[in-house]
């Protein structure tokens, strides 16, 4: 089921996201819903708080909504090693009409649990590495717009408030 995307500055994007101790049917359902939502909205990654669920779950597929060939569902993902750094131009489904450039590690090693409870680990580089860092930032309550400097953030916040008030 496709869910509604929570948009900045919705407070749910800044709340604490709890660890998932038990992979219940509800967690599996949430993973399916997040995958559907990510594809439907044209994203390559999505974190649970973006659909209003404050837990440690992300979905990623850098092959994109057209191909849908590299889906990763990560429970309690954690970056355990980083290497190098790059500049990355990114957008975010929770930040309509926003693009920002941030510094990311060039390579990351990530560990997580899969939906069967198995412990997984992978090394990623390029787009996947940036995408994983972006989604894991969401789980810490950090948005792309919080990483581009105060001026740019304030301008975007104003723009969003205007947009929102004109919809009323
Ligand atoms: Zn995002």
95 alpha carbon to ligand 1 midpoint, in Å? 7
The span from the CA of 48 to the CA of 31, in Å, is: 9
50 alpha carbon to ligand 1 midpoint, in Å? 8
CATH of span 11-167: 3.90.45.10
The span from the CA of 44 to the CA of 161, in Å, is: 26
135 alpha carbon to ligand 1 midpoint, in Å? 6
Just list the catalytic residues: 135
Residues with CB under 5 A from ligand 1 (ion): 92
28-71: per-residue pLDDT in tens? 999 999 999 999 999 999 999 999 999 999 999 999 999 999 99
pTM of the model: 0.96
128 alpha carbon to ligand 1 midpoint, in Å? 13
93 alpha carbon to ligand 1 midpoint, in Å? 6
68-124: per-residue pLDDT in tens? 999 999 999 999 999 999 999 999 999 999 999 999 999 999 999 999 999 999 999
The span from the CA of 9 to the CA of 134, in Å, is: 17
């Amino acid at each position: 089921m496709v869910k509604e995307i929570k948009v900045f500055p919705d407070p749910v994007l800044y709340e604490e996201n709890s660890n998932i101790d038990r992979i219940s049917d509800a967690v599996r359902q949430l993973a399916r819903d997040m995958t559907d939502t990510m594809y439907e909205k044209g994203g390559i990654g999505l974190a649970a708080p973006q659909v209003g669920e404050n837990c440690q779950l992300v979905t990623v597929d850098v092959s994109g909504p057209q191909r849908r060939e590299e889906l990763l569902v990560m429970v309690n993902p954690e970056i355990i090693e980083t290497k190098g750094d790059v500049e990355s131009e990114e957008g975010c489904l929770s930040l309509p009409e926003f693009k920002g450039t941030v510094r990311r590690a060039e390579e990351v090693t990530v560990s997580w649990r899969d939906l069967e409870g198995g412990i997984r680990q992978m090394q990623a580089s390029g787009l996947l590495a940036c995408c994983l860092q972006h989604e894991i930032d969401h789980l810490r309550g950090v948005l792309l717009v919080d990483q581009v400097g105060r001026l740019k953030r304030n301008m975007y916040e104003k723009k969003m408030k205007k947009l929102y008030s004109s919809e009323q």
